[in-house]
Amino acid sequence: MAARRFFSLVSRSQSFPRPTLGFVSLLHTLGRDTQRSRNISKLSTAAEVDELITPSVEIRYTKNLINGKFMDAASGKTFPAYDPRTGEVIAHVAEGDQEDINRAVSAARKAFDEGPWPKMTPYERSRILLRVADLVEKHNDELAALETWNNGKLYEQAVNIEVPMFVRLLRYYAGWADKIHGLTVPADGNYHVQVLHEPIGVAGQIIPWNFPILLFAWKVGPALACGNTVVVKTAEQTPLTGLFAAQLFQEAGLPPGVLNVVSGFGPTAGSALASHMDVDKIAFTGSTDTGKIIYQLAAKSNLKPVTLELGGKSPFIVCEDADVDKAVELAHFALFFNQGQCCCAGSRTYVHERIYDEFLEKAKAAALRRVVGDPFKKGVEQGPQVDSQQFEKILKYIKSGVESNATLECGGDRIGTKGFFVQPTVFSNVQDDMSIAKDEIFGPVQTILKFKDTDEVIRRANNTRYGLAAGVFTNNLDTANTLMRGLKAGTVWINCFDVFDAAIPFGGYKMSGVGREKGIYSLHNYLQVKAVVTPLKNPAWL
């Protein structure tokens, strides 16, 4: 993918070829034909969930990949993968546990210590990663269909954006493979000092369910580019695209044992990987509470280094000088994108008191127009939540908001009688101490809060355990500069949101994580630094 801005706010009149289509533009296109005149009650939403499209993709890979071969779990157990549109089982996947992790780590260790991957020239590693990218591109539509079927995200989002981003990320890190080098350092005295950057060894990686194929690339790309071997634990909710991608790595010529993929549950497979004494590094994306457990397991085992990309409760600040229509549009996207299942979602919408009422009415209207339905259908803007657990959690938070005396402006209930569809929901009169304003809901629930001035909103926006991202909407450069420096967040988007790129680092302050993903910063996670000092006799120069 050639575009530098993958998630960009663009004019509705613009059109792009598939690889460069921005998310906001895409969602406008999907929803334009459905935003017709209709009679809508205060709490209803536009819903089309009756007739479901049957995906044409075949589920071919359900076993664990260990040492270059797909195999059943050591226990022989399987677990179901579901279609969140219906709650029905679509496949049974090998349920890996501690023994499977042991086998995978053993294969990765042998591939690192004895195999060709770390000894291969960086250029050869680069060529293999580029072949993987080509194969993913070839199977773009198939991977996207599988992602939608198992996750519930919009097919147009998966096929036009997320799988192409996988390709872009792999090509980005393939380009880095032969550009990782050390330094020569001047030292006091007659010494030659080299600083070497070496692969760290066996990397354990645990990926989440909300962006399973994309986060697979975020993790695997930099680790392999640096010459490491990898054991990936996929999310139990969404294992299917990771297994498919693993096969493409094998087809591209990746040596056996370099990439191993085990599907299983956190308390068994995930725990075994994080605490394994022969894993040299662990990377995890998921909830903050689980991240704490990962940290503890790593510390109690071999004190392996850990990178964590965790939860968020990102503020989206709409200043008094904002164009209200544009602000509503962007704030709507910042929250409802991917069914609200996004760690950096703009889930605390702070609006200046002078434009609050106008913003609220337009935000409510946007939510009421939002079309919820089969994510395979064109014109649908929101699919189901990933599973019953997430579905019930969201409804519980909505109930909490009502009981806390926030005003339920629209939504607030399920849609239909099957599957995990939730109405786009908007709350007003939200206070900072309410659960819906403090906790990560991870669903289509927009909370709109009122503020008076810049100092106040900075203080309130920072009054959270999270610090993953923030959004600022203003036409005033001084205001933008003040807010972007005052907000304690790993990413601040000014007059845009969810702008990602292979080169832009992503990660959080405070309890939103440790370390950064993507860009050159992700390479640092997978390299050891070694200083080599050699005496010099009668040097010509120092």
Q: What is the pLDDT of residues 41-55, one digit of tens each?
A: 445 566 556 689 999
Q: What's the burial of 435, exposed, middle or buried (CB within 10 Å: 0-12/13-18/19+)?
A: middle
Mark whether 165 and 298 lie in a shared domain.
yes
**309 assigned to active site:** yes
> Do both 177 and 256 map to the same domain?
yes
pLDDT in the model for residue 541: 87
Same domain, 474 and 369: yes
Task: Indicate if the pLDDT at residue 509 is higher than 90.
Answer: yes
Sequence-ordered alpha helix ranges (H) in 55-202: 98-113, 122-138, 140-151, 155-157, 163-176
Which position has the higher pLDDT, 274 or 14?
274
In a domain, 115, yes or no: yes
Type of residue found at 112:
F
For residues 524-541, give the mean pLDDT. 95
Query: Residue 479: left if φ>0, alpha if ψ -120 to 50, beta else—which one?
Result: alpha
| CATH, residue 407 | 3.40.309.10
| Active-site residue, from 137, 309, 381, 517 | 309
Does residue 40 have a pLDDT over 70?
Answer: no
- 511 assigned to some structural domain: no
How confident is the model over 156-173, as pLDDT tens digits? 999 999 999 999 999 999
**360 phi and psi angles, rounded to 5 deg:** -60, -45
Q: Residue 48: its pLDDT value, please?
A: 57
pLDDT recorded at residue 226: 98
- Alpha carbon distance, N-terminus to C-terminus of the chain: 46
Same structural domain for residues 271 and 332?
Answer: no
Q: Is residue 297 part of a domain?
A: yes
pLDDT value for 19: 35
Check whether residue 297 and residue 348 sit in a common domain: no
Together in a domain, 287 and 147: yes
User: What is the reported pTM?
Assistant: 0.91
54 part of a folded domain: no
Q: For the chain, how many structural domains are there in total?
A: 2
Q: Does some domain include residue 6?
A: no
Smallest CA-to-CA distance from 334 within 319, 356, 323, 349 is with 349
- pLDDT number for residue 17: 33
Neighbour-count burial of 336, counting CB atoms closer than 10 A to its CB (0-12 exposed, 13-18 middle, 19+ buried): buried
For residue 241, the domain's CATH number is 3.40.605.10
Q: Taking all residues of the chain, what is their mean pLDDT, rounded to a whole number?
A: 92
Q: Are residues 122 and 205 in the same domain?
A: yes
Could you read off the pLDDT of 261-293 as tens digits, one per residue? 999 999 999 999 999 999 999 999 999 999 999
Expressed as residue numbers, the domain containing 448 is 315-502
Question: 496 with 522, same domain?
Answer: no
- The answer on 249 and 143 residing in a single domain is yes
Instruction: Note whether 165 and 188 are same-domain residues.
Output: yes
Residues 305 and 320 in one domain: no
Average pLDDT over residues 91-115: 98
Within this chain, do residues 342 and 386 fall inside the same structural domain, yes or no?
yes
Q: Is the pLDDT of residue 460 over 70?
A: yes
